[in-house]
Amino acid sequence: MVSFVGFSNYLLGSQIIPLQLCCADQLGRISGTTMAMGTRSRHPKSLALRCYAASHRSLTLLVWSLAALVILLNFHLLTTGTHREDLSSRAHEIHRSIVRELEEVEEEMFQVKPARSRRNPRAVRRKGEHSKPHSVVDEFLDESSAVHDMFFPETAMDPVHGGNDSMYFYHPGRVWLDTDGKPIQAHGGGVLYDEKTETYYWYGENKDGKTYKAHTKGADRVDIVGVSCYSSKDLWAWKNEGVVLRGEVKNVTHDLYKSNVLERPKVIYNDQTSKYVMWMHIDDTNYTKASVGVAVSNSPTGPFSYLYSKRPHDCESRDMTIFKDDNGKAYLIYSSEDNSELHIGELTDDYLDVTNDMRSFLIAQHREAPALFKFEGVYYMITSGCTSWAPNTALAHAATSIMGPWETLGNPCVGGNDIFRSTTFFSQSTFVVPLPGLRGSFIFMADRWNPSELRDSRYVWLPLTVGGLPDEAADYSFMFPLWPRVSIYWHRRWRLPEGWTDS
């Protein structure tokens, strides 16, 4: 605003100056003529001279009127500019105070006591009586430890029976019940806002099966159940819309055969074909197929028809996401080359395939679980390290062009304590949801995986803001922050401030 007012004054100023110069020039010539006229005053004035005098008077009038107009215009612009500036700074203040709530830094006094008193008999059988976890993360993953219990509490977020005091409060890590009172099964998921139905849809892996290891050294897994879908108007109370893409129980050659892998499903809407398009990670039990799968539906609540799987750009693809830009172009982002780098490629116009254009980035950085979002023309991404179900440190990245170059900003996690910040609050990124009414504010969606009982993995939803804490930007050049800071704030309990939705 300030620059707008400054700019208009400058423009006016530059008009005033030539105008005044022009007036002075005119007046100079006119007064020269008047002096000449004075010397001849004893003689009757010729018609031409009388006309000249009249035009002199009207020109003077015109000049003064113009000058007055310019002064008035300047004054008007100054006052309305100041008014607009007032309004915008007031709006900014309100916005800041709303967002401040989200940006409160909450410390955690959590102490790590290797409490070995209460041991789960199943864990003892699996790991042996004397097995000792080594680190906090080991404790967290060990279902017999008190640390594990602390991060997987039995308490639930219940949108139906929770009572007024708990309305709209997110409790990261608690069991999250749907509107039927059942735990939400939408892991590694993403959220689509559907403009037609003005509804949010949350898609994710339904992991409601038995956790087992296919091989002694393999990762814990559950058989494919399918992709669940939940709907909500407020991003808090979710109605189960069922399994919208089912696993295959009979055909062993099918990509979705239960012993294979279906992870990280994401859905976007194609405006040209009016189809909802789902992309997902498709793999075999040993994660060697490393492909993406595509499914399509006429409705956000499915059913989705599975189309095919492939290796995009003939490259391995494991953890992945898709991103639809403001201009309708969409992109696939995936971990490749043994998860050592990320790839990005544009989708075809119908979103059913990738085009040939692909760029590699964050090479040799070993990042996965990409979650992309955009703010004020800049693309941001949160990624995790590659440590299977174990939590690790998140990183934020930014780029002015989605195809890169991408730069790494640093760890976005704020609050909690060191171990919280270095483990992404004991979770792994999956998606970032824009909050349309709060510029620069988003929900960071992450999974707190429970490898001993994957169906009981939890959700960690926290506020993410871009541009907060300018003095603590994650990346500097010559002491100046290079990018706005991306921050994810730890909260034990938080809710969306009023006005988060612009409807």
Short-list 46, 64, 54, 10, CA closest to 30: 54
Q: Residue with the closest Cβ to ligand GAL? A: 219
Binding of ligand GAL by 223 (CB under 6 A): no
Q: How would DSSP label each residue in 24-83?
A: HHHHHHHHHHHHHHHHTTTSPPPHHHHHHHHHHHHHHHHHHHHHHHHHHHHHHHHHHHHH
Between residues 227 and 466, which has the closer beta carbon with respect to ligand GAL? 227
Binding of ligand GAL by 445 (CB under 6 A): no
Show the CA angle centred on residue 314, arms to residues 308 and 315, nearest 5°.
105
Between residues 171 and 318, which has the closer beta carbon with respect to ligand GAL? 318
Between residues 297 and 429, which has the closer beta carbon with respect to ligand GAL? 429
Binding of ligand GAL by 169 (CB under 6 A): no
Give the pair of three-digit tokens for residue 76: 């008007």
Q: Residue holding tokens 């804490």?
A: 469
Between residues 9 and 388, which has the closer beta carbon with respect to ligand GAL? 388
Instruction: Give the helix/strand (H/E) hosting 123.
Output: helix 121-127
Residue 171 has what DSSP assignment? -
Min separation Cβ 405 and ligand GAL, Å: 24
The stretch near ligand GAL (CB under 6 A) out of 50-58, 384-392, 458-466, 468-476 is: 384-392
Between residues 30 and 488, which has the closer beta carbon with respect to ligand GAL? 488
Short-list 289, 306, 191, 195, CA closest to 244: 306
The residue within the footprint of ligand GAL, chosen from 388, 408, 411, 501 (CB under 6 A), is 388
Residue 170 has what DSSP assignment? B
The residue within the footprint of ligand GAL, chosen from 52, 193, 236, 389 (CB under 6 A), is 389
Measured CA to CA, the distance from residue 180 to residue 238 in angstroms comes to 9
Binding of ligand GAL by 412 (CB under 6 A): no
Binding of ligand GAL by 186 (CB under 6 A): no
Between residues 202 and 375, which has the closer beta carbon with respect to ligand GAL? 202
Q: Is 261 strand, coil or helix?
A: strand
Min separation Cβ 302 and ligand GAL, Å: 22
The residue within the footprint of ligand GAL, chosen from 263, 316, 341, 346 (CB under 6 A), is 263
The residue within the footprint of ligand GAL, chosen from 188, 265, 302, 391 (CB under 6 A), is 188
Binding of ligand GAL by 241 (CB under 6 A): no
Q: Buried b / exposed e across 40-76, counting CB within 10 Å, b at 16+?
A: eeeeeeeeeeeeeeeebeeeeeebeeeeeebeeebee
Give the binding site for ligand GAL (CB under 6 A).
Answer: 188, 219, 263-264, 319, 368-369, 386, 388-389, 428
